[in-house]
Amino acid sequence: MKPMETQKRIENDFKIALKSKDEVAKRTLRMVLTSIKLAEVDKGGELSEEEIIAILQKEIKSLRESISDAEKAGREDLIAQTEPEIQVLEKYTPQQLNEDELNKLAVEAIAEVGANSPNDMGKVMKVLMPKIQGRAEGAKVSAAVRSLLTGK
């Protein structure tokens, strides 16, 4: 994607949501645009495409944690409200890797650094994470690498 392409898509979709009175999209996109603007102020300039994707993924993770908390509290209303928000944000993030694709990249990274024990996990992650570029959660990536390095 070209720099700023995702942010422009979000801004355009926000305008469409305002006109169409799509409350979920309007609320969700307003939230993420605010996060982007705050990050731009903190940085003192425009954000890169990767930084915008990272903000989207952080918001999605936060919403998933809210769902987890709502499940524990038995709050079906909050779950029903939050799931559509996640769906809105996922439209702007890269397609997630499936387990086979993730394992293939992990095997390649392990071979690249010559890792052979869990002690080498840091080296593997350092090489692997830039190749993943937001297409899998860090916890899933580390679990896959750990599994491959321990042989379990």
Taking residues 35-64, what's their average pLDDT? 90
The total of structural domains in the chain comes to: 2
Looking at the fold, whether 36 and 86 belong to one and the same domain comes out as: yes
Looking at the fold, whether 104 and 77 belong to one and the same domain comes out as: no
Q: Of the candidates 71, 90, 109, which is a domain's last residue? A: 90
Taking residues 41-45, what's their average pLDDT? 91
pLDDT digits (tens, 9 = 90+) for 113-129: 888 888 888 888 888 88
Looking at the fold, whether 81 and 106 belong to one and the same domain comes out as: no
Q: Of the candidates 68, 90, 112, which is a domain's last residue? A: 90
Looking at the fold, whether 45 and 79 belong to one and the same domain comes out as: yes
Cα atoms found within 13 Å of the Cα of residue 130, Cβ hemisphere only: 5
The pLDDT value recorded for residue 120 is 84
- Return the percentage of the chain with pLDDT > 90, whole number: 34
Q: Of the candidates 73, 90, 107, which is a domain's last residue? A: 90
The pLDDT value recorded for residue 4 is 59
Domain extent at residue 121: 99-150
* CATH number of the domain to which 53 belongs: 1.10.1510.10
Q: Which residue has the higher pLDDT, 142 or 20?
A: 20
Looking at the fold, whether 67 and 30 belong to one and the same domain comes out as: yes
pLDDT of 47 > 60? The answer is yes
pLDDT of 26 > 90? The answer is yes
- pTM for the full predicted model: 0.71
Q: Name the band, by pLDDT with cuts 50, 70 and 90, for residue 3.
A: very low
The pLDDT value recorded for residue 28 is 94
Looking at the fold, whether 13 and 82 belong to one and the same domain comes out as: yes
The pLDDT value recorded for residue 138 is 78
The pLDDT value recorded for residue 24 is 93
